[in-house]
């Protein structure tokens, strides 16, 4: 359905229009027509892709001043996000575009009700994150992809006392942009923080008196080692999800993991682990998803050590070749493997 069809379909029922969306990329003329159609119709959800808008085109955004959920995908052209300030009821905001910059995040201003912000494909640094932390004091979710940040940004984020979800991913940038133990000190003091995923260059050996009720932690492809896992297990005993894939952990990291009795999902893809050590994970009473692989051990050897766990209770095992093993499948494969 193109933009003209959408406008015609909704123009006849203005009192019922709460969702405005367009499945094609629109330019300035089309976007102006789109915005004009829905002015004063109390649109609450706005999802749109735009290209090559001028300042006049961007101004049309201010017509949607009742929006609470905004997804703005900018495929080309300059950005001017100042009109979003008119959306004083905005709670969810997703910005997609390779040109999203620190200046654009500053243009958002102090949106009083914004709770969740996602920025995908931009070029955001410490300055942009600091601006967000100063202006958006009620943020509960901050998700920025392809950001170039250092420990300095974590100091700003540590002031967001309502933060529950934090993801900062650098994409293809150099490892030197990853974050360290010292910079994360304040993050672990956030009283509501439950999910963290960042590009760690850290070993996480220095988690001092954490307060955060962390439930999910992603350390994939970072500098975590055996000591890191031991520290994590003692600092965050209520974890239900842990991703240490592509890190430096060895068999010695698995014993501390067995203390995480609430753990439900564990990813150890591409870690230097042996089948014998992996077998100790049977001690985890709530584990239901285990992602395993290793360039040093054949998948069938992993299965020989772990299928017993899958047979006894519903545990999904994802070996190297990316298929998922159910409880019933496990019984059959286990019999085959043990008979070899």
Q: List pLDDT tens digits, range 123-147.
A: 889 999 999 999 999 999 999 988 8
What is the structure's pLDDT at 311?
A: 60
Confidence label for 213 from pLDDT (cuts 50, 70 and 90): very high
What is the structure's pLDDT at 327?
A: 52
pTM, entire model: 0.84
What is the structure's pLDDT at 152?
A: 87
Residue 256 phi/psi, 5-degree rounding, is -60, -30
Contacts of 181 (CB under 8 A, 6+ apart): 202, 203, 204, 205, 206, 207
User: Domain 218-340 adopts which CATH fold?
Assistant: 3.80.10
DSSP string spanning 105-129?
A: HHHT---TT--EEEEES--EEHHHH
Structure tokens at 89: 């009821």
Region for residue 98 given its phi and psi (left: phi exceeds 0; alpha: psi -120 to 50; beta: otherwise)? alpha
Percent of residues, the chain, with pLDDT higher than 70: 74
What is the structure's pLDDT at 71?
A: 94
Cβ atoms within 10 Å, residue 55: 10
What is the structure's pLDDT at 285?
A: 86
What is the structure's pLDDT at 335?
A: 58
The predicted-structure confidence for 35-83, as pLDDT tens digits, reads as follows 877 664 678 899 989 889 998 889 988 888 899 999 999 988 889 999 9
Helix (H) or strand (E) holding 4: helix 3-11
Task: Choose the most confident range, by mean pLDDT, from 179-188, 243-252, 275-284.
Answer: 243-252
Task: Compute the half-sphere exposure of residue 46: CA atoms within 13 Å on the CB side of its CA.
Answer: 30
Pick the residue with more confidence: 93 or 288? 93
Distance of CA 104 to the CA centre of its chain: 21
What is the structure's pLDDT at 11?
A: 36
What is the structure's pLDDT at 203?
A: 62
Pick the residue with more confidence: 95 or 210? 95
* Measured distance CA(187)–CA(156) in Å, rounded: 9
Structure tokens at 302: 């992993």
Task: Choose the most confident range, by mean pLDDT, from 210-214, 275-279, 334-338.
Answer: 210-214
Cα dihedral 241, 246, 247, 253, rounded to 10, equals: 60
Cβ atoms within 10 Å, residue 115: 17
Residue 218 pLDDT > 60? yes
DSSP string spanning 234-287?
A: HH-TT-SEEE-TTSS--GGGHHHHTT-TT--EEEETT----HHHHGGGGG-TT-
Pick the residue with more confidence: 226 or 310? 226
The predicted-structure confidence for 262-290, as pLDDT tens digits, reads as follows 999 999 888 888 777 777 887 888 888 88
What is the structure's pLDDT at 210?
A: 83
Residue 309 phi/psi, 5-degree rounding, is -65, -40
What is the structure's pLDDT at 107?
A: 94
Q: How far apart are the first and last CA of the chain?
A: 57
β-pairing verdict for 45-51 and 141-145 = unpaired
DSSP string spanning 178-238?
A: SB-TGGGTTGGG-TT--EEEE-B--------S------EEE-TTSS--HHHHHHHHHH-TT
Cβ atoms within 10 Å, residue 303: 22
Pick the residue with more confidence: 237 or 300? 237
β-pairing verdict for 92-96 and 124-125 = unpaired
DSSP string spanning 62-99?
A: GG-TT-SEEEEEEEES----GGGGG-TT--EEEEE-TT
Confidence label for 17 from pLDDT (cuts 50, 70 and 90): low
Mean pLDDT for all residues in the chain: 80
């Amino acid at each position: 359905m193109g933009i003209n069809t959408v406008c015609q379909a909704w123009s006849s029922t203005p009192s019922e229009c709460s969702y405005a969306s367009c499945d094609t990329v629109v330019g300035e003329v089309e976007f102006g027509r789109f915005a004009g159609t829905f002015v004063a119709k109390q649109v609450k959800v706005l999802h749109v892709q735009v290209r090559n808008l001028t300042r006049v085109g961007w101004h049309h955004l201010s017509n949607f001043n009742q929006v609470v959920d905004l997804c703005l995908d900018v495929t080309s052209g300059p950005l001017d996000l100042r009109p979003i300030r008119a959306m004083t009821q905005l709670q969810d905001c997703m910005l997609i575009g390779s040109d999203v910059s620190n200046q654009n995040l500053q243009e958002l201003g102090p949106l009083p009700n914004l709770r969740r912000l996602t920025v995908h494909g931009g070029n955001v640094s410490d300055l942009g994150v600091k601006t967000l932390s100063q202006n958006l004091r009620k943020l509960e979710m901050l998700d920025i992809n392809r950001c170039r940040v250092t420990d300095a940004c974590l100091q700003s984020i540590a002031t967001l006392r309502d933060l529950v979800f934090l993801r900062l991913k650098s994409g293809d940038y150099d490892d030197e942009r990853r974050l360290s133990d010292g910079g994360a000190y304040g993050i672990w003091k956030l009283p509501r923080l439950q999910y963290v995923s960042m590009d760690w260059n850290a070993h996480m050996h220095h988690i001092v008196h954490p307060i955060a009720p962390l439930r999910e932690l992603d350390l994939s492809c970072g500098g975590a080692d055996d000591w890191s896992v031991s520290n994590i297990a003692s600092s965050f005993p209520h974890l239900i999800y842990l991703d240490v894939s592509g890190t430096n952990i060895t068999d010695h990291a698995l014993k501390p993991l067995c203390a995480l009795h609430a753990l439900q999902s564990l990813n150890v893809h591409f870690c230097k682990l042996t089948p014998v050590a992996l077998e100790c994970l049977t001690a985890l009473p709530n584990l239901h998803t285990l992602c395993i692989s290793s360039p040093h051990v054949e998948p069938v050897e992993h299965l020989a050590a772990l299928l017993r766990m899958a047979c006894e209770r519903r545990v999904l095992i994802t070996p190297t070749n990316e298929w998922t093993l159910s409880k019933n499948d496990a019984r059959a494969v286990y019999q085959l493997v043990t008979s070899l």
